A and B are shown apart, each in its own frame.
Chain A
């Protein structure tokens, strides 16, 4: 079973929920798909993480064969190739690995080699298997890393909790494409509402089962009203709690503490019921 946790923006409590739900669930996997700003390992502190590179194909130019016709650099839609001082240069971090340059080269001067765009880290934390991806600074697209993370997690045949990237871009779509259930997290503010509406639309395009968690509630019914209007199930409301916020900001898994355990456990039970 795959459960994706998403929000329109960072800082709403996506990682808080993903970490604590996966910690409490039996036989679970936590997957950090926020590969640009991965924070899950700040909570799941694991000593001997296994690390593996994520590879994509990038072109290399054989300068003995290249006659400088520039057909490849004209073809490249990502501007990853440039003709500088008489030679074609490849800018790896702009390359999307489409293979176009190799196809169009009339001299057959282009071959492809592996290029590491980031890493996948993994390890066991008590009952939870933890997977985290990290995109190299300066690389353009984290999609290949997310695909690898999801591929790895689906092999395990466990309950997978997917900590999605913020926003509604292509990386978010990738991360929820195989989800059985989406948990949307929102804060009760007009910003929160706007961003919730954005991810709600995304999840409905993909025809996903959806539940909503309202985080840092202060009594303002702005999100509750929206949920009512859309017929959206509210899984729980987490009140604004300074102690919880402080522990979380320091990288503690708060559901280890009895008084917070129940809160997350209830969400988990409801979600399981909803999926089945």
Chain B
């Protein structure tokens, strides 16, 4: 399974970003290979619709689960079309959230 999280800095020890659309990085983690990779969010300075672009980006990375504090209405629509499941983050740190998710401790956002 492939998991994505919006993050402030790169890496698994980073803090989660509050803004999915305008996050600095995406951390994308593969639960089978146990490998994670950070990607710069190239669209974070767009004037509008950045949530759509962020959603498009992770969908095209074959992400199945997004862990985030919140998402806007527009991102939600795109993520639904891409069949991405959304879970609400509880802790600040990326790594902790991934562990919590794998332990079934996170709640689905919608």
Contact = CB atoms under 8 A, between A and B. Distances in A.
Contacts of A140: 48
A82 B48 contact: no
A85 interface: yes
Given A77-B47, A89-B81, A91-B49, A82 B55 contact: yes
A79 B81 contact: no
B82 interface: yes
B46 A89 contact: no
Given A91-B74, A91-B77, A94-B74, A84 B47 contact: no
A85 B79 CA distance: 11
Interface in B37-58: 43, 46-50, 52-53, 55-56
Which of B47, B48, B55, B82 has the most A CB atoms < 10 Å from its CB?
B48
A231 interface: no
A79 B78 contact: no
A261 B29 CA distance: 69
Interface in A71-102: 73, 77-80, 82-85, 89, 91, 93-94
B51 to A, nearest CB: 8
Given A85-B82, A91-B52, A138-B73, A79 B46 contact: yes
Contacts of A78: 47-49
A83 B60 CA distance: 8
A84 B83 CA distance: 10
A79 B59 contact: no
Nearest to B53: A79
A140 B74 CA distance: 12
A96 B77 CA distance: 19
Nearest to A89: B81
Contacts of B47: 77-78
Given A84-B81, A85-B81, A91-B77, 10 more contacts: A77-B47, A78-B49, A79-B53, A82-B55, A83-B56, A84-B60, A89-B78, A94-B48, A94-B52, A94-B74
12 contacts: A79-B49, A79-B53, A80-B52, A82-B52, A82-B55, A82-B56, A84-B56, A85-B59, A89-B81, A91-B49, A91-B78, A140-B48
Interface of A: 73, 77-80, 82-85, 89, 91, 93-94, 138, 140
